[in-house]
Structure 1
Amino acid sequence: MMHLAEIIDWISRLAIAAYFLWATVFNAQSWNFQLSEFKRVGIERGASLLIALGLAMLAGGSVLLLIPSTALIGAWVLIVFVLSADAIFHRYWTYSDPQEQVIHKIFLFEHVALVGGLLAIISARL
């Protein structure tokens, strides 16, 4: 029988993995939009490779997060992905349009919360 801490750990890993698996599907289905976003931030060369790498990190990190013995690795993979994506796309202070600033500020701080959850999963395994 699982203890309460194990149940909470499972639920937290499942919730975070579900979000990132959804993001994998969403980003794969919006490949052309992703290419345009890379172009918008000045990255055209290698954008397809970066998108593919990002999708692999999202999917792989999520699966690793769901497996108790590899959850630590999965959490780190997802943290690296989130921080990289935020550094490239969600620098809200660089947008001149106030609505764009708000949207990217929301994304950035939601991602800070996700990283916090991933760090909690990591800390439970150290």
Structure 2
Amino acid sequence: MPSFIAAFLESSVALIGGRVVLTCLFWMAGIFGIFNFSVVVQEMRDAALPLPATFAVATIACQLIGSALIITNFAGLGWLGAGALGVFTLLSIPLGHPFWTYAEPRRQQEFQIALEHVTVVGGMLLAAILSLRH
């Protein structure tokens, strides 16, 4: 590996930048939810969750706190933020993207979203591992 690439990858700028990029989906969704709370509550209703306002608050809190913990690794708790976002992302598959319940072509579209979610969970696993090393 060229030395300038290695130097960049070992820098705190790359580490923080990577954490920000990894979590941008979550913190952007959380910020959106703060300013569009009724939309998030409706998403919870659409997923047939009980107490939709409570689930909306929990979702927004998970997205923002989990992202902040990953980005800052505050008190070495980046692993906790990554775990929370990973579990949240996995749960959103059966609750929000149950591909097995749809006919084609929507089944394939929802399946692709589910696979993207699994990929994000892999990123959260790597973030958790990295938080223990830095």
**TM-score if structure 2 supplies the norm length?**
0.74
**Closer, same or farther: CA 94–31 of 1 in aligned 2, 3 Å:** farther
Query: What's 2:71 paired with?
Result: 66
Long gaps (5+) in structure 1: none
Task: Say if 1:61 and 1:77, in contact at 8 Å, map to a contact too.
Answer: yes
CA distance in structure 2 between the partners assigned to 1:106 and 1:28 by the alignment: 28
CA distance in structure 2 between the partners assigned to 1:112 and 1:106 by the alignment: 10
CA distance in structure 1 between the partners assigned to 2:66 and 2:123 by the alignment: 14
Task: Say if 2:79 and 2:128, in contact at 8 Å, map to a contact too.
Answer: yes
Task: Say if 2:44 and 2:56, in contact at 8 Å, map to a contact too.
Answer: no
Long gaps (5+) in structure 2: 1-6
Shift of 1:33: 3.6
Query: What's 1:11 paired with?
Result: 17
Task: Say if 2:41 and 2:52, in contact at 8 Å, map to a contact too.
Answer: yes
Runs of 4+ displaced beyond 6 Å: none
Q: Give the share of equivalent positions with the same residue, in percent.
A: 22
Query: What's 1:109 paired with?
Result: 115
Aligned length: 123
Shift of 1:93: 1.4
CA distance in structure 1 between the partners assigned to 2:40 and 2:116 by the alignment: 20
Q: CA RMSD in A?
A: 2.4
The match for 2:93 among 74, 81, 86 is 86
**TM-score if structure 1 supplies the norm length?**
0.78
One-letter identity of the residue aligned with 2:53: S
Q: Which has the higher contact order (CA 8 A, sep 6+)?
A: 1
Moved more, 82-91 or 99-108: 99-108
Query: What's 1:39 paired with?
Result: 45
Shift of 1:30: 4.2
Based on CA coordinates, which of the two structures has the bigger radius of gyration?
A: 2
Shift of 1:99: 4.6
